[in-house]
Structure 1
Amino acid sequence: MAFSLFSTKNRIINLVINDHSIRFLELKQESPPAPQRWLERFLPPGIITDGKIVDFDSLSSILEECIDDWKIRRRSIRFIVPDPLVIIRKVTIPADVQEDEIKGYLYLELGSSIHLPFEEPVFDYFSLNDNGKTKELLLFAAPEQNVMEYVDLLNRLKLNPVAADISPLSLYRLYHKLDRAAVDEVLFTVQFDLTGVNLCIFDETVPLVMRHFSLSFDIDQWEVSRDTLGLMVCKFNGEPEELVVQFEDIFREINKLLDFYRYSQGNNEKQDITKFLLNGDHPMVMAIYDEMKERYDIPVDLITIDNETKSKHMSIPSNLFLPLGLALKEVQ
């Protein structure tokens, strides 16, 4: 997915900005995927909330420091559109709309026959089925104003945005590149991060439905430090029961999405969910993994990358898998 806002450049930096962090990764090689370097910076609460920039000046100052420290000024940038901003929706259009006319048709129908919870979206689409009378499309959309705030900020700091992506596609791209995908697979991805959880169901390579849920985050209950590699280490110092309540809420949402997918299939000969794929930067992600294995009959998988060297300096932290998947995106 690309939001068609950009031109193509070389030597691309891959940037992931969310409510609690800024991460960058530069790719060394694609096969097997290997990063050349990566770094991250913790974002204090209140600068970005639910994917929307709240404190533009603070974010600009922090990002400028990162650009100088990481030596990436004037580089081309891919970035992830924050999960809370993105909507994936199936839409149906007349079959006689030609391929080169689809985008214009969608522009005309947005707000009339196609309704989104925001005005003036930036969007892309993926063609699904054509029965001769209608065409079914998968629409990816986000509010243009919020996306352009990131683009304008990057441009102001002398970076060159060339492509935008969404997190489930970046994660799946890495999963597929590592030859982990199976034929006729229905994959349920769970991106479990410190301040939010993103759920997405893939029918083979197509993300059919996505749901995002924010997690409450009280900075006073967390200790944030850096490890020897300069990466974030977050330790929860509050009452464990508070995290348990959060996790139970998310498991309920996982169950709701499972039920929704099964109901939407009706009597179709589609498979049920064949696998969970768990990833994320939450410090309890392995406990979440164990709990999912206990609760569900569906296999639960984690992305792993085997390194030829055992040096810890060459290992790739799991919270960098998302920008690594982004790095595998082709810029058109």
Structure 2
Amino acid sequence: MGFSLFSAKNRIINLVLNDHSIRFLELKQTNPPIAQKWSERFLPPGIIVDGKIVDSDSLANILEQCIEEWKIQRRSLRFIVPDPLVIIRKVSIPSDVQEDEIKGFLYLELGSTIHLPFEEPVFDFHRLTNNGKTQDVLLFAAPEQFVMEYVKLFSSLKLESVAADISPLSMYRLYHLNRSNEKEVLFTVQFDLTSVNLCIFDGSVPMVMRQFALPFNIEDWDIKLGLSGVIEFIYKGASEELVIQFEDIFKEINKLVDYYRFSLSNEKQDVTKFLVNGDHPMLKAIYDEMKERFEVPVEMLSLPADEKTKGSIPTNHLLSLGLALKEVQ
């Protein structure tokens, strides 16, 4: 799963861009691979908005500085398609459509029987069930225009895009490293400074995803680069504002749990675990609150046991690490 736009290359760097940051991580090519280098850069508001590049000149200038500082000139890269651009949708197609014909069939049906909120998507799919008359497939789609703006920007800076991914899959990939294949319904919560991504996995398949923007006023935060090289955000605004934001997200979590239970699984399955990650400065408090509110277990995404002794990767780089493991495992 992912977006099959590109071919594979070696010595790949991994970039995660969102509305407020650029993050870079590189693996050391050992067996198993381990994180070798990572860094990040704060993005001022207005350069990327809701995952879309708004000020391409400023972003290009900042990326150019990062490339020089991080010494990643002329490298191949993977990147995560920003969450606000991605749609996951289950669609039914005739059962006799063969696997190698599905992509072409979906392309022909887009805009007629399959409706998306944008034209000219880049997409991939994952087969689900086949009852003999119809088969269900999961459609992963994003507007090609906005995805290609990132690809063209990277190319203009001599970085070649070779793979794209979505954040829940990167999060799941790291979570599942060195774990058994026990059947579970995992609800991932990516709680970042300016957005929240919610996704429910049935086994290894992301069945539904929702994205929510969080209000962000830069004047309410002190932002500095810590001694460890991690950007630190200290909130100085009214605490009630954050409480309201968190309450709204908890309500959306409950809605999505109910949607999965009653609409997707027909009351046959429930969410069995929450997995929390993100770069929000209050992430530990969010995690603690979720443990109080929800009856199912809540787990914080962390490094695999054999990785913890090899370097202290900051929590906000775990998504980058999950991306780096794409096509490595």
Is TM > 0.5 for Structure 1 vs Structure 2? yes
**Match status 1:228 vs 2:227:** yes
1:261-276 alignment, distance < 5 Å: 261-265=260-264, 267=266, 269=268, 271-276=269-274
Q: How much identity, in percent, do the aligned residues show? A: 69
Structure 1 range deviating more: 93-102 or 10-19: 93-102
1:98-137 alignment, distance < 5 Å: 98-137=98-137
Structure-1 residue corresponding to 2:312: 315
**Match status 1:298 vs 2:315:** no
Q: CA deviation at 1:32?
A: 5.3
Q: Is the CA contact 1:307–1:315 (under 8 Å) kept in the aligned structure 2?
A: no
1:309 and 1:55 map into 2 onto residues whose CA distance is 38
Letter of the structure 1 residue corresponding to residue 44 of structure 2: P
Q: Is the CA contact 1:32–1:178 (under 8 Å) kept in the aligned structure 2?
A: no
Q: Encode CA deviations 1:53-84: one digit per residue, 9 max, x unaligned.
A: 01010001001110111111110000000000
Q: Encode CA deviations 1:229-276: one digit per residue, 9 max, x unaligned.
A: 21111111101111001101111111110111111146453x210000
Closer, same or farther in 2 for the Cα pair 1:97/1:307, shift >3 Å? closer
2:169 and 2:212 map into 1 onto residues whose CA distance is 18
1:1-332 alignment, distance < 5 Å: 1-28=1-28, 34-179=34-179, 183-265=182-264, 267=266, 269=268, 271-305=269-303, 306=305, 314-330=311-327
Closer, same or farther in 2 for the Cα pair 1:330/1:267, shift >3 Å? closer
Deviation above 3 Å: which 4+ runs of structure 1? 29-33, 265-269, 306-311
Q: CA deviation at 1:4?
A: 2.3
Letter of the structure 2 residue corresponding to residue 223 of structure 1: D
The root-mean-square deviation of aligned C-alpha atoms, in Å, is 1.6
Runs (5+) with no aligned partner, structure 1: none
Q: CA deviation at 1:15?
A: 0.5
2:92 and 2:307 map into 1 onto residues whose CA distance is 48
Q: Encode CA deviations 1:109-154: one digit per residue, 9 max, x unaligned.
A: 0000000000000000000011111111000000000000000000
Structure 1 range deviating more: 220-229 or 119-128: 220-229
1:70 and 1:120 map into 2 onto residues whose CA distance is 35
Closer, same or farther in 2 for the Cα pair 1:252/1:27, shift >3 Å? same
2:288 and 2:31 map into 1 onto residues whose CA distance is 30
1:12 and 1:166 map into 2 onto residues whose CA distance is 17
Q: Is the CA contact 2:2–2:140 (under 8 Å) kept in the aligned structure 1?
A: no
1:49 and 1:166 map into 2 onto residues whose CA distance is 17
Runs (5+) with no aligned partner, structure 2: none
